[in-house]
Each structure stands twice: as structure tokens, then as C-alpha cells.
Amino acid sequence: MHTQIVLEMRGISKAFPGVRALHNVDFTLRRGEVHALMGENGAGKSTLIKVMTGVYAKDAGRITIDGATIHFRSPQEAQNFGVGTVYQEISLCPNLTVAENMFIGRGRRGFVNWNRMNGDATRLLESLCIPARPTQELSNCSLAVQQMIAIARAVDMECKILILDEPTSSLDEDEVRRLFALMRELKSRGVGIVFVTHFLDQVYEVSDRITVLRDGELVGEYAASSLPQIELVAKMLGKELGDVAGIRNRRPRTAESGIPVFEATGLSSAAGVRPFDFSIHKGEVNGFAGLLGSGRSESVRAIYAADKVTGGSVRVNGKSVRIGKPIQAMKLGIGYLPEDRKGDGIIAELSVRENIILALQVMEGFFKPFSRKQAEAFADEYIRLLNIKTPSTGTPIKALSGGNQQKVILARWLLTHPEYLILDEPTRGIDVGTKVEIQKLVLKLAEEGVSVTFISSEIEEMLRTCSRLIVMRDRCVVGELEDSGLTQNDVMHVIAGGAEKPCDE
């Protein structure tokens, strides 16, 4: 590994109105290393990255690249210095082609050599094994492929510093392996890589060193080989791991006998979900497991009628009902936290208070608006209950960290006192501490009699939380596991093809 320092940040501070985002933070990146930047949501990781890349101007401190002091005034200046960035939220143009997205802004103004651009794009796509054509519109690519294209764009700029902010959050296992192979290749060429992720196993798979931030301050810098994973989590949380151990050792509640709270027979949807049967009892926590694209999210969207239901019958507490749209599900006591927090969950321009009361207001009707005093009381109660970190109830939700935004959406549904709550990837892209809080909340809700369907791409998290798993492949239910069958090996066996039952063609 190269030892020459390519990026050095010393004493970096940054504040926003009412928030101290960074205070006297140091960070050092060497050539030819992968350096993981870790911390809970709100720890300051994103702010430090934006200072690195010229999005934010620092309030104090010094930044050097290859020993020269720099003052980036824009991301373009950072790019000119060889700093490439791929953010968690993909910032590409869906209406342009793959090649245009890869090379936009990098040709001579007013002139584009289309043949050369498409040829260069083809070579780069093939070298990275990305399944896309240079001339196809980006919107026709899957989210995972769009993420890979964003990475390819940054890589091709001959960057010496590559910042990857949650690059694997939308990738399946094979694509993650491909990305890691690419990272190792770039590392061998002397590129310094800043790697931000919430997947702890991935940190140890590719990282050489780890820097931990907490509450905007530096906790420390460590060699990955000398920092056990349990210690990393403790440093990120700033406390001992009794809460995590309590989750791991706690047995999920099994289903009660009797009439299911919700029962579907032969349910299918326009999103391509094949007919499936499903039920959940009072106080049960079950889940849908499967690989990316298996149909987990589409199945619960069919249950909630977020996608058009094309077949099947539904019973709620033993009574036959028709659920054709989400408002009907809501009025039957069903809540749904969607997978896409940004697109389907928060309303970015509204306040925390307005986001919390939204579902209950919809159920009451907008001609019966809550008074400001009522809305404040609702918001205050759930901010306190879920430990939501926000300057005030009137703060725009877009100003909160991802984990706190997720808690606001949870508060929205808890305020409706649902009988059945669907949580689709409630812990994706959020910090370890908030993950623990959400898992504990799910188990507490079950103890209080709420039925919960829980979906996570992390199998271990599902095993800790659920008493029964419905396993999916190719948008079809291929197995169901519970009790002694709830092991990671059994889940992976069914996913890989050792199905309890085949998919009907």
C-alpha cells in the first residue's frame, strides 16, 4: 500500500443555524488505500464529505491535496483537482442516454463527437461489466445499474481521490463484488478511496483504515485490522452494546392462534407479483425475505394496494373486504412505511410536525384540519417517544438526517394507532444506533398486540426481529420458514433454489 498522503484535513469545523455539524475534525487519506468514514446519521460524515468536495465552505481548518493548501469554491474545482464523488442519492439525468450521463460537461462547449463518446462509454461499460448500452435512456436502467453508471462516471475522470457515499445501498451481491473488485483495482493504481457505508461487514472486507465521527467530532482513526467490529459499533454509539445484545438474545413473538388480523388468498398485482397467500396474526412479526428484485416490496405494496391489485381476496379480522387503494387500507387499520424514503415517504418541503400528522389528517379528512395546538401536541409526543433529533417541530424534514427522517415516518403511522404495520426497509441507510432503536420498537409494538411485517435486505436483522419469514424469488413465494428453520443457511438455501414449493409458471 502506498503511504504518501494525498488528502489531509486538519481542524475542520462547520456550523449551520442552530446546528454544529463539525468541530475540529481531522481526516487523512493516503494514496492506494480504502479509508472508511463511519458514524451514526447526524455524526457529520456527509458534511465532511461536502467540505472535501467544495459543496460547503469550511468555517475553520486547513485542507491540503498533495501537500498544497486548497480552498475549493465549488464541486467543479474539486473535480479539477481529481476529486470524484458518488453520492448515495444518484444525481444523474434520467432523460439523457447512458453515455451522455457519463460524459456530460466534459467536452468542448458546443461540440460533441457522438461516435467517440458512445465508443468510450461502451469500452468503460464493458470493462466494468455494467449491463447497459451507451445509447439507451438512463430511465430504462434499474436503480442498481444507474448507481454503477454514476461510479463509472467518477472513475473515468482519472480521479486521485474517489469518495463513495453508500455506493452499495442499491446493489445486489454480485454487483457489490464487482464494485469491490473495481475499488481494489483503483487502489492498486494509487487512488485514495473514501468509503462511507452502513454495512459493517463491507467495511472490513475492503477497508485499510477507519475514521469514526460522533456528534460532529472525531472519535479516532484506526487500522481496520486492529479494530474488532464490536468495538467499532461501540465507538460509533458512544456506549456499551447491551442494547444490541438484548436484541440478539430476545426471541421474537410467535403468532397467536385464532383469526388472522390480515389474510390474503391468491393476491397478485400489476407490478408482476404472482398470486400468493399470506396471513398475519395479532402481535406477530413476520417478514418477506429474498434477493434484490425478488418481489419483497411488490408483495407488501399489493397488500397495501399501493400498486394496482389484479387478483385475489382479502379478509381483515375474518371479514371479507376490498382494498383497492391505500386510503381503504389506512381506514382498516393498516400502516405502510415505504422502501423509498425520499420518493414515497417524506414530503421534503413540509415541517416535521406536518409530516407526522399527515396520515391521521388524511384519515380525518382535510375539511377537518387539526388545530396548531393539537398538531404540536401530536408532534411533541412522538418526537419524545422516538427520540427524534430536530431543532423544532417546525423544522423542514429535509434538514434532518436520514435516520431521523425515518423516525418521523414511523411516528406518522404510530399516530394512527395501526392494528397492522408494514415496514419496508425501515433501517436501510441509517446508523447502527437508530437500527437498534427501530428493532426494539418493532418488538415492543408486537408485545402491545400490533402485527408487523418487517422487510430488510440484511438477513441477520430479519432473523433477530421476525418469528416467521416468507421467502421470495422471481416475484413468487417459494418458501416459508419459522421456529427451528429460521437460520441464515436455511433462508439462503430456499433463496438459492432449494424451494419448499416451485413457482407456477
CATH of domain 5-239: 3.40.50.300
How much is the pLDDT for 473? 81
Residue range(s) in the chain whose domain bears CATH number 3.40.50.300? 5-239, 241-325+451-505
Q: What is the pLDDT of residue 249?
A: 46
Q: Do 316 and 262 form a contact (C-beta atoms < 8 A)? A: yes
**CA atoms within 13 Å, Cβ hemisphere of 378:** 25
Q: What is the pLDDT of residue 254?
A: 53
CATH architecture of 241-325+451-505: 3-Layer(aba) Sandwich (3.40)
The confidence score (pLDDT) of residue 164 equals 92
**H helix or E strand, kind and range, residue 249:** helix 242-249
Greatest alpha-carbon span in the chain = 72
pLDDT of 505 reads: 46
What's the pLDDT at 495? Answer: 77
Bridge partners, residue 218, by sequence:
213
Q: How far apart, in whole angstroms, are the C-alpha atoms of residue 353 and residue 330?
A: 20
Partnered with residue 195 across adjacent β-strands are: 36, 164
Q: What is the DSSP secondary structure assignment for residue 255, as one 8-state letter?
A: P
pLDDT of 339 reads: 83
Task: Report the half-sphere exposure of 357 (CA within 13 A, side-chain side).
Answer: 24
pLDDT along the chain (505 residues), means of 10: 84 89 96 93 87 94 94 89 80 88 70 86 84 90 79 77 84 78 86 88 93 94 90 73 48 64 95 92 92 83 94 96 94 90 81 92 84 92 88 90 86 92 85 80 91 87 90 87 80 68 55
What angle do helix axes 402-414 and 372-385 make, rounded to 10 degrees?
120
What pLDDT shows up at residue 209? 97
